[in-house]
Amino acid sequence: MLLVRSDAEGLAAAVETLMSGGIAVIPTDTVYGLAALPSCAAAVERLYTVKQRDAKKPIALLACNGEGAAKFLGERAAALGARYWPGALTVVAQGEGVRVPNHEWTRSLIRACGGALRVTSANMSGQRPATDAEAALSEIGLSADLVVDDGMSPGGTASTVVKVADDGVLTILREGPVKFLTLASGSPRRAKILRDCGVDFTIVKSDAAEVTFHDDPERTVSENALAKGAAVKGTKVLSADTIVWFNNRIYGKPKDLEEARRFLKELCGNTHTVFTGVAYDGEVKVCRSEVTFKTLTDRQIEEYVELVKPTDRAGAYDIDEYGDLIVEHYSGSYENIMGLPIEPLVEWGIVSGAKGT
């Protein structure tokens, strides 16, 4: 085993070791890693053996830049990574996990080795990651061909690992330094608004029970939004609750299509108010919009219900899905009517500027 510094001489030695099929302990911006050339199957196998890693668990790649990462991830996932790279985010897509480290010496090493290295943390499986060369040596360094000493790792914590599904939905596989917004809602309309605003977020459906204060729509949406957020663990949690208010009555989600038809009959030809409460890390804001329905025949209502099947929408309608069939006009935030107003997101710094109409 050869011990070198993270200088030009050490870089040359590390390149020679890896390109000849060896394995090396290298520094990164997060923790020390155990690296091998991806094209050398025997070297990659040694990573598993030395670390005693489960053969079913893949080993991520470190790339020297975003262009190199995109070769493995595809455009959508690479675009997500590019917003955080170089940095402590590992993006998983298309069966690969890839990261671009914020460590100039390490990126130079990766570049000299062809643009990518297989790298796993330099510790025995199940143990704490090594944050300096001494700890790495103690754990597994004596089984490596070379150890690079760069002092204490600046990050000290393994990267955040996020999986990007084919539809763009993000799932956190390992918590780490990079924190994402959590949307505590299964609403596809709220998710669409956040995506359209360019927000990166994960989805955790809240199981909070909803309450109704029949004479107080603002209190209803406020308390429900807060409860939904509180039911989801973590920070940067965004939650919301939306109701329709007409004739001193709250219209929530209809329990079935028959009730949806009744809601629409009562609302058609009239103006109602949409209230949405939005909560973020314990703070809540309420927005309202006014919506006027067209005068609809029973057949038009039936056609809309069959087309949209709006049992998961407050008031039994969706302004963004065939809304032109039933909505005459509206005032206020369009996104509020959809279920997530933009204005509070701007105030909280979740989005950089108003995107709505």
SS (H, E, C) the chain: CEEEECCHHHHHHHHHHHHCCCCEEECCCCCCEEEECCCCHHHHHHHHHHHCCCCCCCCCEEECCHHHHHHHHCHHHHHHHHCCCCCCEEEEECCEEEECCCCHHHHHHHHHCCCEEEEEECCCCCCCCCCCHHHHHHHCHHHCCEEEECCCCCCCCCCEEEEECCCCCEEEEECCCCCCEEECCCCHHHHHHHHHCCCCEEECCCCCCCCCCCCCHHHHHHHHHHHHHHCCCCCCEEEEEEEEEECCEEECCCCCHHHHHHHHHHHCCCEEEEEEEEEECCEEEEEEEEEEECCCCHHHHHHHHHHHCCCCCHHHCCCCCCHHHCEEEEECCHHHHHCCCHHHHHHCCCCCCCCCC
Q: What are phi and psi of 178, to 5 degrees?
A: -85, 120
Is 298 considered catalytic here?
Answer: no
Query: CA-to-CA distance for 78 and 81, rounded, in angstroms?
Result: 5
In sequence order, which residues have a C-beta less than 8 Å from that of residue 242 and are 6 or more positions away?
221, 274, 275, 276, 277, 314, 336, 339
Q: What are phi and psi of 91, to 5 degrees?
A: -105, 130
Active site residue: 241, 312, 318, 324, which one? 241
Q: What positions carry a catalytic annotation?
A: 241
